[in-house]
Protein backbone atom coordinates (compact mmCIF):
# COMPACT_ATOMS: atom_id res chain seq x y z
CA UNK A 1 0.00 0.00 0.00
CA UNK A 2 1.20 3.51 -0.83
CA UNK A 3 0.14 6.59 1.10
CA UNK A 4 1.30 10.02 -0.03
CA UNK A 5 1.43 12.53 2.82
CA UNK A 6 1.20 16.06 1.54
CA UNK A 7 1.39 18.88 4.04
CA UNK A 8 1.14 22.59 4.51
CA UNK A 9 0.09 23.69 1.02
CA UNK A 10 -0.99 27.06 2.49
CA UNK A 11 -3.34 27.70 -0.42
CA UNK A 12 -4.07 31.42 -0.45
CA UNK A 13 -5.64 34.24 -2.40
CA UNK A 14 -3.38 36.69 -0.53
CA UNK A 15 0.29 35.58 -0.66
CA UNK A 16 1.46 37.95 2.05
CA UNK A 17 4.62 36.41 3.46
CA UNK A 18 4.99 33.24 1.44
CA UNK A 19 8.15 33.32 -0.72
CA UNK A 20 6.74 30.96 -3.39
CA UNK A 21 3.45 30.59 -5.28
CA UNK A 22 1.62 27.93 -3.19
CA UNK A 23 -0.86 26.98 -5.92
CA UNK A 24 1.83 26.66 -8.59
CA UNK A 25 3.86 24.44 -6.30
CA UNK A 26 0.81 22.37 -5.33
CA UNK A 27 0.09 21.85 -9.03
CA UNK A 28 3.54 20.26 -9.48
CA UNK A 29 3.03 18.00 -6.47
CA UNK A 30 -0.40 16.90 -7.69
CA UNK A 31 1.06 16.10 -11.11
CA UNK A 32 3.95 14.19 -9.52
CA UNK A 33 1.59 12.05 -7.42
CA UNK A 34 -0.73 11.41 -10.35
CA UNK A 35 2.24 10.33 -12.50
CA UNK A 36 3.39 7.65 -10.06
CA UNK A 37 4.26 4.45 -11.97
CA UNK A 38 2.65 2.45 -9.15
CA UNK A 39 -0.80 3.73 -8.16
CA UNK A 40 -0.92 5.55 -4.86
CA UNK A 41 -3.86 4.37 -2.75
CA UNK A 42 -4.43 7.38 -0.58
CA UNK A 43 -3.26 10.95 -0.04
CA UNK A 44 -3.37 12.30 3.51
CA UNK A 45 -3.06 16.09 3.78
CA UNK A 46 -1.76 16.96 7.24
CA UNK A 47 -2.90 20.50 7.77
CA UNK A 48 -2.27 24.13 6.94
CA UNK A 49 -4.28 23.32 3.86
CA UNK A 50 -5.06 27.02 3.51
CA UNK A 51 -3.18 30.04 4.78
CA UNK A 52 -6.11 31.83 6.41
CA UNK A 53 -8.90 29.27 6.77
CA UNK A 54 -11.43 31.18 4.67
CA UNK A 55 -14.25 29.75 2.56
CA UNK A 56 -12.70 31.25 -0.57
CA UNK A 57 -9.40 29.50 0.09
CA UNK A 58 -11.11 26.15 0.76
CA UNK A 59 -12.85 26.54 -2.60
CA UNK A 60 -9.44 26.94 -4.28
CA UNK A 61 -8.07 23.95 -2.40
CA UNK A 62 -11.09 21.81 -3.24
CA UNK A 63 -10.30 22.10 -6.94
CA UNK A 64 -6.77 20.79 -6.39
CA UNK A 65 -7.84 17.92 -4.12
CA UNK A 66 -10.28 16.78 -6.79
CA UNK A 67 -7.48 16.72 -9.37
CA UNK A 68 -5.63 14.09 -7.35
CA UNK A 69 -6.10 10.57 -8.72
CA UNK A 70 -5.88 8.82 -5.33
CA UNK A 71 -8.46 9.17 -2.61
CA UNK A 72 -7.77 12.12 -0.27
CA UNK A 73 -8.13 12.54 3.50
CA UNK A 74 -7.64 15.91 5.20
CA UNK A 75 -6.60 17.14 8.64
CA UNK A 76 -6.56 20.76 9.86
CA UNK A 77 -3.52 22.75 10.97
CA UNK A 78 -3.03 26.02 12.83
CA UNK A 79 -3.79 28.05 9.69
CA UNK A 80 -7.09 26.23 9.15
CA UNK A 81 -10.62 26.47 10.51
CA UNK A 82 -11.62 22.93 11.44
CA UNK A 83 -15.30 23.83 11.83
CA UNK A 84 -15.38 25.25 8.32
CA UNK A 85 -13.46 22.25 6.98
CA UNK A 86 -16.17 19.92 8.28
CA UNK A 87 -18.53 21.26 5.67
CA UNK A 88 -16.26 22.79 3.02
CA UNK A 89 -14.13 19.65 2.69
CA UNK A 90 -16.69 17.07 3.87
CA UNK A 91 -15.88 14.76 0.94
CA UNK A 92 -12.32 14.45 2.21
CA UNK A 93 -13.13 13.55 5.83
CA UNK A 94 -13.26 9.82 5.19
CA UNK A 95 -14.22 8.61 8.65
CA UNK A 96 -16.65 9.62 11.37
CA UNK A 97 -15.16 12.67 13.07
CA UNK A 98 -15.27 13.35 16.81
CA UNK A 99 -17.85 15.92 17.89
CA UNK A 100 -15.54 18.70 19.07
CA UNK A 101 -12.42 18.09 16.97
CA UNK A 102 -11.90 16.84 13.44
CA UNK A 103 -10.24 13.55 14.42
CA UNK A 104 -11.27 10.29 12.76
CA UNK A 105 -10.09 6.81 11.84
CA UNK A 106 -9.61 5.22 8.41
CA UNK A 107 -10.04 1.54 9.22
CA UNK A 108 -10.67 -0.17 5.91
CA UNK A 109 -7.10 -1.11 4.97
CA UNK A 110 -4.58 -3.56 6.47
CA UNK A 111 -2.85 -0.50 7.90
CA UNK A 112 -5.06 1.49 10.25
CA UNK A 113 -4.83 5.27 9.97
CA UNK A 114 -5.65 7.43 12.97
CA UNK A 115 -6.05 11.09 12.01
CA UNK A 116 -5.69 13.32 15.09
CA UNK A 117 -6.80 16.96 14.92
CA UNK A 118 -4.38 19.06 17.00
CA UNK A 119 -5.71 22.43 15.86
CA UNK A 120 -7.75 25.05 17.66
CA UNK A 121 -8.76 28.31 16.02
CA UNK A 122 -6.80 31.18 17.57
CA UNK A 123 -3.80 29.05 18.54
CA UNK A 124 -0.65 28.37 16.57
CA UNK A 125 0.66 25.65 18.88
CA UNK A 126 -0.87 22.20 18.96
CA UNK A 127 -3.64 21.10 21.29
CA UNK A 128 -3.46 17.81 23.17
CA UNK A 129 -5.95 18.31 25.97
CA UNK A 130 -7.71 15.72 28.13
CA UNK A 131 -10.46 15.25 25.56
CA UNK A 132 -8.11 14.53 22.65
CA UNK A 133 -5.88 12.42 24.86
CA UNK A 134 -8.87 10.26 25.88
CA UNK A 135 -10.02 10.04 22.24
CA UNK A 136 -6.58 8.91 21.06
CA UNK A 137 -6.14 6.40 23.89
CA UNK A 138 -9.61 4.90 23.37
CA UNK A 139 -9.22 4.83 19.60
CA UNK A 140 -5.85 3.09 19.76
CA UNK A 141 -7.14 0.61 22.35
CA UNK A 142 -9.94 -0.45 19.99
CA UNK A 143 -7.70 -2.36 17.54
CA UNK A 144 -4.37 -4.18 17.46
CA UNK A 145 -3.94 -3.61 13.72
CA UNK A 146 -0.67 -1.95 12.69
CA UNK A 147 -1.30 1.76 12.83
CA UNK A 148 0.02 5.05 11.55
CA UNK A 149 -1.03 8.24 13.35
CA UNK A 150 -1.34 11.40 11.27
CA UNK A 151 -1.43 14.86 12.88
CA UNK A 152 -0.44 18.42 12.02
CA UNK A 153 1.68 19.50 14.97
CA UNK A 154 4.84 17.51 15.75
CA UNK A 155 4.91 15.96 19.21
CA UNK A 156 8.67 16.49 19.49
CA UNK A 157 11.25 19.27 19.50
CA UNK A 158 13.19 19.66 16.24
CA UNK A 159 15.88 22.13 17.40
CA UNK A 160 14.50 25.10 15.47
CA UNK A 161 13.44 27.11 18.48
CA UNK A 162 10.74 29.33 17.01
CA UNK A 163 9.00 26.28 15.60
CA UNK A 164 9.46 24.30 18.81
CA UNK A 165 7.53 27.04 20.60
CA UNK A 166 4.59 26.15 18.33
CA UNK A 167 4.75 22.36 18.57
CA UNK A 168 2.30 20.10 20.41
CA UNK A 169 1.52 20.86 24.04
CA UNK A 170 1.83 18.07 26.61
CA UNK A 171 4.33 16.17 24.49
CA UNK A 172 5.43 13.86 27.32
CA UNK A 173 1.83 12.84 27.89
CA UNK A 174 1.38 12.23 24.15
CA UNK A 175 4.45 9.94 24.21
CA UNK A 176 2.96 8.07 27.19
CA UNK A 177 -0.25 7.44 25.23
CA UNK A 178 1.64 6.24 22.15
CA UNK A 179 3.85 4.08 24.37
CA UNK A 180 0.80 2.18 25.64
CA UNK A 181 -0.04 1.02 22.11
CA UNK A 182 2.75 -1.02 20.56
CA UNK A 183 0.91 -1.41 17.26
CA UNK A 184 1.59 2.24 16.44
CA UNK A 185 4.47 2.05 13.96
CA UNK A 186 4.73 5.65 12.80
CA UNK A 187 3.54 9.08 13.92
CA UNK A 188 3.55 11.36 10.87
CA UNK A 189 3.16 15.11 11.27
CA UNK A 190 3.39 18.31 9.25
CA UNK A 191 3.83 21.91 10.45
CA UNK A 192 7.64 21.95 10.27
CA UNK A 193 7.88 22.29 6.47
CA UNK A 194 10.92 19.99 6.49
CA UNK A 195 11.51 16.29 6.12
CA UNK A 196 12.95 14.86 9.32
CA UNK A 197 12.82 11.75 11.49
CA UNK A 198 12.95 11.03 15.20
CA UNK A 199 11.19 8.74 17.69
CA UNK A 200 8.19 9.01 19.99
CA UNK A 201 8.14 6.22 22.57
CA UNK A 202 8.72 3.06 20.44
CA UNK A 203 7.34 4.60 17.23
CA UNK A 204 9.09 6.30 14.33
CA UNK A 205 8.12 9.98 14.12
CA UNK A 206 8.27 11.85 10.81
CA UNK A 207 7.94 15.45 9.79
CA UNK A 208 6.80 16.14 6.24
CA UNK A 209 8.08 18.81 3.89
CA UNK A 210 5.62 21.40 2.62
CA UNK A 211 4.20 21.34 -0.86
CA UNK A 212 4.86 25.13 -0.81
CA UNK A 213 7.69 26.90 1.05
CA UNK A 214 10.17 25.14 3.34
CA UNK A 215 11.49 25.99 6.78
CA UNK A 216 15.08 27.19 6.43
CA UNK A 217 17.32 24.98 8.53
CA UNK A 218 18.89 27.49 10.92
CA UNK A 219 19.33 26.22 14.47
CA UNK A 220 20.34 29.60 15.91
CA UNK A 221 17.84 30.22 18.75
CA UNK A 222 17.24 33.88 17.80
CA UNK A 223 16.63 33.39 14.10
CA UNK A 224 13.58 32.45 12.04
CA UNK A 225 13.56 32.04 8.28
CA UNK A 226 11.74 30.35 5.42
CA UNK A 227 13.20 28.98 2.21
CA UNK A 228 12.39 28.46 -1.46
CA UNK A 229 13.91 24.97 -1.41
CA UNK A 230 11.98 22.49 -3.58
CA UNK A 231 8.56 21.23 -2.59
CA UNK A 232 8.13 17.71 -1.37
CA UNK A 233 5.96 15.09 0.22
CA UNK A 234 6.36 11.79 2.06
CA UNK A 235 5.49 8.50 0.42
CA UNK A 236 4.71 5.89 3.09
CA UNK A 237 5.18 2.37 1.70
CA UNK A 238 3.40 -0.30 3.77
CA UNK A 239 4.57 -3.81 2.87
CA UNK A 240 2.35 -5.67 5.33
CA UNK A 241 5.02 -5.72 8.03
CA UNK A 242 6.55 -2.30 8.30
CA UNK A 243 6.34 1.25 6.98
CA UNK A 244 9.13 2.80 4.94
CA UNK A 245 8.72 6.56 4.56
CA UNK A 246 10.35 7.98 1.44
CA UNK A 247 11.00 11.72 1.29
CA UNK A 248 10.12 12.88 -2.22
CA UNK A 249 11.56 16.09 -3.67
CA UNK A 250 9.51 17.70 -6.42
CA UNK A 251 11.72 19.79 -8.69
CA UNK A 252 13.21 19.70 -12.16
CA UNK A 253 15.73 16.90 -12.36
CA UNK A 254 16.80 14.26 -14.82
CA UNK A 255 15.76 10.64 -14.37
CA UNK A 256 18.17 8.10 -15.87
CA UNK A 257 16.26 4.91 -16.75
CA UNK A 258 18.20 1.62 -16.53
CA UNK A 259 15.35 -0.88 -16.53
CA UNK A 260 17.46 -3.42 -18.45
CA UNK A 261 19.52 -4.20 -15.34
CA UNK A 262 16.53 -5.46 -13.36
CA UNK A 263 16.51 -8.89 -15.03
CA UNK A 264 20.29 -9.19 -14.51
CA UNK A 265 20.01 -8.31 -10.82
CA UNK A 266 17.00 -10.58 -10.46
CA UNK A 267 19.00 -13.50 -11.87
CA UNK A 268 22.13 -12.72 -9.86
CA UNK A 269 20.20 -12.45 -6.61
CA UNK A 270 19.17 -16.10 -6.95
CA UNK A 271 22.76 -17.38 -7.19
CA UNK A 272 23.99 -19.48 -4.23
CA UNK A 273 26.64 -17.83 -2.11
CA UNK A 274 25.42 -14.26 -2.51
CA UNK A 275 25.18 -11.92 -5.45
CA UNK A 276 28.24 -12.06 -7.74
CA UNK A 277 29.73 -8.90 -9.16
CA UNK A 278 27.83 -7.59 -12.16
CA UNK A 279 29.22 -6.65 -15.54
CA UNK A 280 26.76 -3.96 -16.39
CA UNK A 281 26.11 -0.44 -15.18
CA UNK A 282 24.25 -2.00 -12.25
CA UNK A 283 27.69 -2.24 -10.65
CA UNK A 284 27.55 1.54 -10.41
CA UNK A 285 25.17 1.28 -7.48
C-beta atoms surrounding 235 within 10 Å? 18
Q: How far is the CB of 157 from Fe ion (least distance, A)?
A: 17
Q: How far is the CB of 9 from Fe ion (least distance, A)?
A: 9
Q: How far is the CB of 111 from Fe ion (least distance, A)?
A: 25
Q: Which of 185, 202, 183, 201 is nearest to 144 (CA)?
A: 183
Q: How far is the CB of 190 from Fe ion (least distance, A)?
A: 7
Closest to Fe ion by CB, 48 or 81: 48
Closest to Fe ion by CB, 8 or 81: 8
Q: How far is the CB of 137 from Fe ion (least distance, A)?
A: 27
d(CA 220, CA 10): 25
Q: How far is the CB of 33 from Fe ion (least distance, A)?
A: 19
- Signed CA dihedral, 50, 56, 58, 61: sign only: negative
Binding site for Fe ion (CB under 5 A): 8, 48
Q: How far is the CB of 215 from Fe ion (least distance, A)?
A: 9
Closest to Fe ion by CB, 17 or 237: 17
Closest to Fe ion by CB, 8 or 229: 8
Residue 31 region, left (φ>0) first, then alpha (ψ -120 to 50), else beta?
A: alpha
Closest to Fe ion by CB, 48 or 229: 48
Element (H, E) at 103: none
Closest to Fe ion by CB, 52 or 137: 52
Closest to Fe ion by CB, 11 or 68: 11
Give 18's Cβ-side CA count (13 Å radius): 24
**Paired sense of beta strands 231-238 and 2-6, if any:** antiparallel
- The CA-atom distances, in angstroms, between 205 and each of 185, 190, 249 are 9, 11, 19
Q: Are 211 and 25 in contact (CB under 8 A)?
A: yes
- The CA-atom distances, in angstroms, between 51 and each of 18, 38, 55, 153, 254 are 9, 31, 11, 15, 32
Amino acid sequence: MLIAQISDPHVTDDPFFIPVDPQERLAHVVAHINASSVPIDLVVATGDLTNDGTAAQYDILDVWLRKLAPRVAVLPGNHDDSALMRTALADFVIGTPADTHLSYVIDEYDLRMVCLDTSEVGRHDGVFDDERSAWLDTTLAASDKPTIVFMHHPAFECGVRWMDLMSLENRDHFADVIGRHRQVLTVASGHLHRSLTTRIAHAVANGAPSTAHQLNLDLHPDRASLSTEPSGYLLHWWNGTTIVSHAVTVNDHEVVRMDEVVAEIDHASNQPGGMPSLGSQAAGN
